[in-house]
């Protein structure tokens, strides 16, 4: 029996749902800023102006140091710089409005004079957001999805700014106390759909809403892995999706060698793990990735975007 080997050349791939497809593109335009989300992954660089954040608490608590880090992140490829003055790590305590303003406003004032990159204010408080926007910020990043301060939506509408709405189970003080879901993906999908609907009913334009499933906010290691794996389900929300997995505890727990010994969030090993999570998130449809290392993420983004955008014909 003669067997003939035939080489397939440029045969179109079948239209199967398990094949990777390019993300839907979204156009955000506000004030003097424009972001095209989809063709290329948008990098959001983090600057925590706090003494107690899980990854870099205390490193950028000084204003000038925080400004320098923001400038570096922008130079390294971040298209958004996210400034936060209150830690949202598990079991953290809230800070007062006055203290949060004291931490973030001087940084935003100085940073906005040195970079043209849009600055987001990571806060759940309306007055903090207002003062930050007056200082030069132009995006609101609310981990509470407008649930903690009813006045925050009005500030977003007044300044006509994009808003990031995130899923969190409970609050930072309680969110990691035995988090449970009957149907993880559907419950978070429902939460985010309701958050977007509520934002719209309060006057926020649908084309200025970004949704975040909230990696690490009221989730176990398995929950976080499942969220990234099943991120394509969130396409049904028809909204840009942000993923913030950088240096989160689920990465450190997977990488540590023993149950007794934890590893520091800023170690190179953890950053490597973070880039693996970033790559998986992009492959599964994330439009924005929130990270601590913009330079390393830019290399990841360039390669993974090239794969996502490759022609299957």
Catalytic residues: 248, 290
Q: Which of 58, 197, 184, 210 is nearest to 122 (CA)?
A: 210
Q: Which of 239, 224, 237 is closest to 181 using CA atoms?
A: 224
CB atoms < 10 A from the CB of 178, how many?
7
To 10 degrees, the CA torsion angle through 244, 189, 237, 223?
Answer: 30
Cα–Cα dist 75/293, whole Å: 11
At 160, list the tokens.
């006509």
As a whole number of angstroms, the distance between CA 78 and CA 250 comes to: 24
Instruction: Please tell me the distance from the alpha carbon of residue 298 to that of residue 109, in angstroms, as a whole number.
Output: 26
Closest CA to 113 of 163, 70, 158: 70
Whole-number Å distance between alpha carbons of 258 and 262: 8
């Amino acid at each position: 029996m003669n067997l003939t080997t035939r080489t397939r050349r440029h045969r179109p791939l079948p239209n199967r749902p398990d094949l990777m497809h390019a993300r839907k593109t979204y156009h955000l335009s506000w004030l003097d800023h424009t972001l095209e989300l989809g063709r290329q992954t948008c990098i959001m660089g983090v600057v925590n102006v706090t003494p107690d954040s899980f990854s870099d608490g205390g490193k950028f608590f000084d204003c000038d140091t925080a400004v320098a880090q923001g400038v570096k992140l922008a130079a390294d490829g971040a298209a958004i710089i996210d400034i936060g003055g209150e830690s949202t790590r598990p079991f953290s305590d809230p800070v007062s409005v006055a203290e949060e303003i004291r931490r973030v406003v001087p940084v935003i004032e100085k940073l906005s004079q040195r970079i043209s990159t849009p600055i987001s204010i990571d806060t759940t408080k309306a007055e903090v957001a207002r003062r930050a926007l007056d200082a030069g910020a132009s995006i609101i990043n609310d981990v509470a999805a407008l649930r903690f301060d009813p006045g925050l939506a009005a500030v977003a509408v007044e300044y006509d700014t994009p808003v990031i709405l995130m899923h969190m189970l409970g609050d930072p003080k309680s969110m990691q106390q035995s988090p449970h879901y009957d149907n993880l993906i559907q419950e978070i999908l429902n939460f985010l759909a309701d958050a977007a609907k509520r934002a719209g009913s309060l006057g926020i334009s649908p084309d200025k809403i970004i949704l975040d499933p909230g990696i690490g906010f009221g989730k176990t290691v398995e929950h976080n892995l499942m969220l990234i794996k099943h991120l394509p389900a969130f396409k049904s929300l028809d909204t840009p999706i942000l993923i913030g997995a950088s240096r989160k505890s689920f990465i450190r727990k997977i990488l540590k060698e023993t149950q007794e010994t934890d590893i520091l969030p800023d170690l190179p090993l953890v950053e490597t793990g973070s880039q693996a999570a970033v790559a998986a998130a992009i492959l599964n449809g994330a439009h924005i990735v929130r990270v601590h290392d913009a330079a390393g993420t830019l290399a990841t983004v360039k390669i993974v975007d090239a794969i996502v955008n490759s022609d299957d014909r």
